[in-house]
Every structure is written in C-alpha cells, then in structure tokens.
Structure 1
Amino acid sequence: MVAVRVLVMGAGGGGGNSLVRSLRAGDPSLEVVGCHADRFILKQSIADRNHLIQPVHHRAFISSLRRVIEAERIDLLIPESDIHVAAVGRGRRRLPCRVFLPRNPVIAVCQDKLRLTRFLQTRGLPVPATYGLTRGDARDIRRGLRIAGTRPAWCRIRRGSGSAGAIPVRSVASARLWMGYWKEMRGVPARDFTLSEFLPGRDFACQSLWRAGGLVLIKTCERLAYFWGDNNPSGTSSIASLAKTCREPALVDLTIRAVRALDPRASGAFSLDFREDADGAPRITEVNVGRLLTGTPIFDHAGKHNMALTYVRLALEEPVEIRDEYDVADRYYMVRDLDTVPGVFAAEDLFTDIEDARR
C-alpha cells in the first residue's frame, strides 16, 4: 500500500510542528513533508523532508508550491495560517494535489471580522455589537463607543490573527491614540478598525470538520490563560497557554447554525471562537476556516477521534464513520509554553510526579 503524502505549510513553527505530531500520532504511516518561506524557521521542522518556498505575496508563490507538490508526489496540501488559506484558496486550481478548503467567498467573509459579524447578525446569530470605523476622528469614535454599548469597548483590527491590534478602550482619546500608533508605525488606517462590545466572560474554541454540508466531527475547549497575556495591552490573546476540554452543547448548536448560514454545502475546517457577555451568554467573535487551530493538540490527543487525521481522511474522500459527531473528552488540559512541546494531560495526571512543597 502506498503511503499517503501530505504537505504541511508553516513547518518548523509551533503550530506546524504540533500539526505534524498530531498527524503522526493518528497514523504513523503518513509521509509528512514540510514547507516554509523562512529558512530559519524551516530548520526547526520535524517533518520527514522540508522545502523552502516563496513567501505568500511573491508572484511565484504558487509555482514554488507546485514544484514541491510534483517533486514529492503530494496527495494533500494543508495550510497552517489564515494567510495560507487565502492564498492557496485563490490558487487551488493551479495546484496538482487536493486541498480541503471552503469556497473562496466563504473564506473572504470569515477573514474580515466586520463582514463576518454583520453577516451572522443578519441571520439571527449572537455576535457582539460592532461598529466599523471610517475616519477615526472624534465623532466617528463616539458613534462607535455608543454602538458598542460598553465601557471599556473592544478596539481591534478587522483582519489578522493572534488578537493583533486589539485593546480595550474607555475613551475617545485612548482609541485615537491606539489607532494613531498603528497608522504611524504599521501603516494600518483607521478604517481597518472596529469598536465592539466588550465581553468579560469565559473564552471558548469550537473546532469542527465538515464534508458536503454535513457535520462530521466537533470538539470544544475553554481557554484559561494566554501566551503573552500579561505583556499584551489587551491582556489576552487567541493563543492559549492553558486550555481544558469542556462539554458545551449550546456552542455546538451555534456552530452548526453559523456554518450552515455561511455555506449549506460547507466542506473543510470551521473553528469558531466564543466569548461570554456579562450575562454569561456566548457570542461568536471569530470563524477561522480552512485550517486547524494552533491549539489543535487538545483536539487531537484527547477524545476518541484525532481531528488532524480526520481532516486528512475527509480531504482524501476516504470513508469516515463517526457515530457521535460531538466528541467530548472530559477534564483534559493542554499546557503550552515557549520552546516546549505542548502537553495534553488528564486532570488526574496533572500532579503525577510532583511533590507539593508549599507547606
């Protein structure tokens, strides 16, 4: 039997290496090839073989991917970031292998947080009250703060990941200073920012896999602590340093409604972020599509089904028989830190081989 060959983008980075580990844990026979546009990050890759490719914005990006795919006889290309998803989505017809991505219009909506929020709101789904800034002057910001309806309000950039450009603001002055910094130092105009309702409650991720409009597998976790949370102006991040599995059927129901609203024939990975409002009601804050989350180890190493491997099997149109789509593994924790391999532990194992010297 010929081994399946997959090409993982972002190889060598934390998310790329975690994905490689998950794939190998699910099926050791997989041949995993890695690629990256940064030779230094690529040097850290744990894939079987690695290729240096052109950056996403280079005109030869798709051509360089093609060369790797043809040389390695790749069966499936797996994007690792939003920027990869968008670029591969646009160039998918020129790639001689499978990809498992939503339609390009769906990708475009989901990668613009303002468009996504408006789309979901018009379909009756719970989202934070949000205003898209236009000029960034005092009048514009006052209107945004009024629509957001909370103090502080949440000021963030419409596109990107990792909570880039996100900060809570209480006044017109603080919002103007923040956006002014991003315009002066990063070239980000005020029209790329939103002001939205501040959500103080619990933070959840819900990762799901779909094929031809049918939900195949879904898992949920709660983020408890964040990478660089104490150092970020926002005090938070989309990247959890500590997370736990959880049973939240209401989030599953909202995810199903949202994905079917986006595309009744949805295929690929759809991962929703939720944050609870002051009353404990969950609101949808993001929909990441076409890729697995960087925190996917908690979904791959806990529960009955490895999501990364299921993604591959669905992409290759292999039969996947999962009786209960909502796969819950109670009381598992994922612990992550810089320069360490993410660990997934059952709650009862958290203090194994640890002596308590606090008393």
Structure 2
Amino acid sequence: MKILITGVGGPTPRSFALSLQRYSQYADWEFFGTDINPHAVGLYRKDLFKESFLIAPASDPEAYWKDIEAIITAKNIDYAIILPELEVMEWSKRKMQGGKLPCPSLIPDPKVTELLVSKSRMTDLLEDMDLVPASVSFHRGQRDFKGLFDKLGFPFWVRSSSGTSGLGSLKVENEAALKNWIQINPEVEQFLASTFLPGRNLACKLLYWKGKLLRAASGERVNYIMAKVAPSGITGNTSFGRLLNEPHLVELSKKAMDKVFDETGTEPHGFFTADFKEDEKGKPYITEINVRHVAFTQCFAAGGANFPEDTIRLLDADPDFDFTYRMYEFEKDLIFLRDVDVEPILMKEGELLKVYHSPVGQNI
C-alpha cells in the first residue's frame, strides 16, 4: 500500500509513518514523503520513506497542487496523510469547492478547520459552555491593557491566537513582561491571553468518520523536549508523558466538537486532538483543538491505540473494521519517554529509576 505523507520535516508525520511501520500488520507499507524545506530531516530518512520530494508550499496553491498531483500520479499513491495545518486547510478548501481530491484522505470540512485554527474564535464559541478558560484577544499594536488585567489578573498565560507548538507562549507576571514579550515576537500579530492554569497538561484524541465518533484516547504531557530553550517551557514536543484512561476528557472533547460541528453546520469527520490544562482544583479546560495528529502519536500506537492504522483502514474501506465506538484503554501506570530522533520507550511509571545515594566511602 502506497501512502503519501506530507510535512515529513516535522516529528508528527514521521510518528504517523512509524506507527504503521512498527505497529501495524494491516498492509505492506511504502511511504512517500514531502516537505517544503530542503533541510527537513525526514526527506532523507531512507529507512522510512521509499522516496521523498521537495514541493512548493501550500501558500502557493497553483504550484503546490501541481507538485502533489504529479507525485500521486507518478507513484500510484493509494492514500494521502496531510498533517501540516496549512496543507490541511488547502485540501479542505479544495474539497469544499467541489474539486476532487487527487487521492482519498481524511480531511475535515474547511469551516471546521478555519474555526479551530483560530484559537480566539474557538475560545469565543466555547466560552459560554464552561469548557475554556477566561480569555482576552488583543493585537500587537494595542497599548491599553487595563481591561485584560481587570479580567484575568496576574499571572496569566499569553500565546499566539493561531499556530502550533506553543508559538508566542509565556506565563506573564506583570505589564512590563507582557510588553517586552510582544516586542520580541514580531511574527505574532494577534495574541490570546487566558487565565493561568497550573494543573496537568492533557490531550484527547478523537477520530470521526462520516458523522460518527469512532475512536478516542487520552494522554498527559509532563515534560517537553528542549524545554529550556523556550521561556514558556513548552516546545510542542513531549519528552515524558502518560497514557491515560479518562472518559471525562472524551466527554468534554465531544461536547466541544458537537458545538463546533453544530456552529459550522458540518458533518463530524476528521481527526482532532483537544488540548486541556487543569486549574488548581483539577478542573480541565480546553486550550486548543488541533485538526490533526500530534507528535506523540507513535506512543499511543505502541500502547495499543493505533490511530494511523484506524485511519488507513477507514480510507481503505476495510470490511473487517469495527464501527462500534471505542475509547482505547491502556495498562495502568503506563508512561512514555521520548527524545529527538530516538525510539520512544513505553514502561510502567513505577519502573522509573530512583535517585541512588551512595553510602559514604563506597563506590556506586
């Protein structure tokens, strides 16, 4: 089976491919990768991708589609996995405009994509449902922040109102810190400030297919790869996390997505990752909903929740696929450890090494 995976310079597309290569026996896989950056490491992963291609960016639709269609035709691609947000938006626009996709792919409706990519629009939509933290959006040119401070107080959390990987994120302690942060993030035009939530950082994955929620699973992000390079401590790439069994997260995520589908008048369809942060009492609030997989997809697959395989089987119309809703459940105490270009490790949290204190006068 020939699968095209886009954006292979990022960890998420490689995680998707590895989930199939190492944890799925559904088919014999041939992966083809694309990226817009000639320095993207995934383009040169010969152990993973049979062939890779440098293509035009989705911001240049005419050139982008010319490249994508040429690859799909020349390599007889069966299915495409589109993961960078800009490409998801471009494929969803083409789908809405009545243009036939060059090959089958799990793509949400563009109205859903556009709403969720904008963190401020999503927050406004869910605000009255007690699903999101109190928030205020503002432009980088704003000078008066009294209304923001009165509503949120200090500290609060600020980030870009769109984009991923914690772009422009910081815990703000005072007005001077906010103004300085705006100045050193010139690429961010619109910010979103929200109540600071000190609790767990959670994620809930949801797989919808033609109107129905079919699969779900939850996890926790505890630490991040290269966290020290980001003032927020968040890089969007988890180094240590937990695989969880939390139906309440699924319930909240589904409630939010029901509202999104109702607001946009669209059929539930696509793959989504709802991110949560808990307050000091342990109440979870949605901070964003991604319209795609995230980087630790492979860890879920290793734990038995292989969403990439589910996706391909649905696209392939597998007659043996079970359409009964299922929340994946993991072994208790199951954690994962990740690092850059290293195979993730799944283990029981109780097996983590403890600090060893050497008796005085003895070698370890």
Same fold flag (TM > 0.5): yes
Deviation at 1:358, TM superposition (A): 4.4
Q: How has the CA–CA distance of structure 1 residues 199 and 281 changed in structure 2, closer, same or farther, with 3 Å as cutoff?
A: same
Distance 2:191 2:149 in 1: 13
Q: Is the 8 A contact 1:207 1:271 kept in 2?
A: yes
Distance 2:20 2:141 in 1: 45
Aligned match of 1:204 in 186, 202, 205? 202
Letter in 2 for 1:240: T
2:136 corresponds to:
131
Aligned match of 1:156 in 154, 159, 167? 159
Q: Is the 8 A contact 1:11 1:47 kept in 2?
A: no
Q: Is the 8 A contact 1:142 1:172 kept in 2?
A: no
Letter in 1 for 2:310: T
Q: Is the 8 A contact 1:62 1:95 kept in 2?
A: no
Q: Is the 8 A contact 1:225 1:242 kept in 2?
A: yes
Q: How has the CA–CA distance of structure 1 residues 6 and 349 changed in structure 2, closer, same or farther, with 3 Å as cutoff?
A: farther
Q: Is the 8 A contact 2:59 2:86 kept in 1?
A: no
Q: Does 1:63 align with 2:61?
A: no
**TM-score of the aligned structures, taking structure 1 as reference length:** 0.89
Q: Does 1:329 align with 2:334?
A: no
Q: How has the CA–CA distance of structure 1 residues 40 and 128 changed in structure 2, closer, same or farther, with 3 Å as cutoff?
A: same
Q: Deviations over 1:279-308 (max 9, x none)?
A: 21000011011x2111101221112x4111
Q: Where does 1:110-149 land on structure 2 (aligned, <5 Å)?
A: 110-122=116-128, 124-134=129-139, 136-139=141-144, 141-147=145-151, 149=152
Q: Is the 8 A contact 1:144 1:196 kept in 2?
A: no
Aligned match of 1:19 in 4, 16, 21? 16
2:50 corresponds to:
48
Match of 1:133, SS?
strand
Distance 1:138 1:130 in 2: 18
Deviation at 1:357, TM superposition (A): 5.4
Q: How has the CA–CA distance of structure 1 residues 312 and 247 changed in structure 2, closer, same or farther, with 3 Å as cutoff?
A: same
Q: How has the CA–CA distance of structure 1 residues 180 and 65 changed in structure 2, closer, same or farther, with 3 Å as cutoff?
A: same
Q: Deviations over 1:36-93 (max 9, x none)?
A: 2223321135212222211222340111011111111112111122222122222343
Q: Is the 8 A contact 2:131 2:256 kept in 1?
A: no
Q: Does 1:98 align with 2:104?
A: yes
Q: Deviations over 1:121-157 (max 9, x none)?
A: 24x1410111111464442x2211222x241111111
**TM-score of the aligned structures, taking structure 2 as reference length:** 0.88
Q: Where does 1:135-284 land on structure 2 (aligned, <5 Å)?
A: 136-139=141-144, 141-147=145-151, 149-183=152-186, 186=187, 188-189=188-189, 192-263=190-261, 265-284=267-286
Q: Is the 8 A contact 1:268 1:311 kept in 2?
A: no
Q: Is the 8 A contact 1:297 1:344 kept in 2?
A: no
Distance 2:235 2:245 in 1: 22
Q: How has the CA–CA distance of structure 1 residues 135 and 345 changed in structure 2, closer, same or farther, with 3 Å as cutoff?
A: closer
Gap runs ≥5 in structure 2: 359-364
Deviation at 1:347, TM superposition (A): 4.3
Distance 2:163 2:272 in 1: 16
2:36 corresponds to:
37
Aligned match of 1:83 in 86, 94, 118? 86
Distance 1:237 1:277 in 2: 21
Letter in 2 for 1:144: L
Provide runs of 4+ in structure 1 moved above 4 Å: 346-351, 355-358
Distance 1:150 1:311 in 2: 43
Q: Is the 8 A contact 1:213 1:263 kept in 2?
A: no
Deviation at 1:348, TM superposition (A): 6.4
Q: Is the 8 A contact 2:274 2:290 kept in 1?
A: yes
Letter in 1 for 2:181: W
Q: Is the 8 A contact 1:153 1:195 kept in 2?
A: yes
Deviation at 1:98, TM superposition (A): 1.0
Q: Deviations over 1:1-33 (max 9, x none)?
A: xxx321011225432222111012213513222
Q: Is the 8 A contact 2:165 2:234 kept in 1?
A: no
Distance 1:257 1:277 in 2: 19
Distance 2:112 2:164 in 1: 17
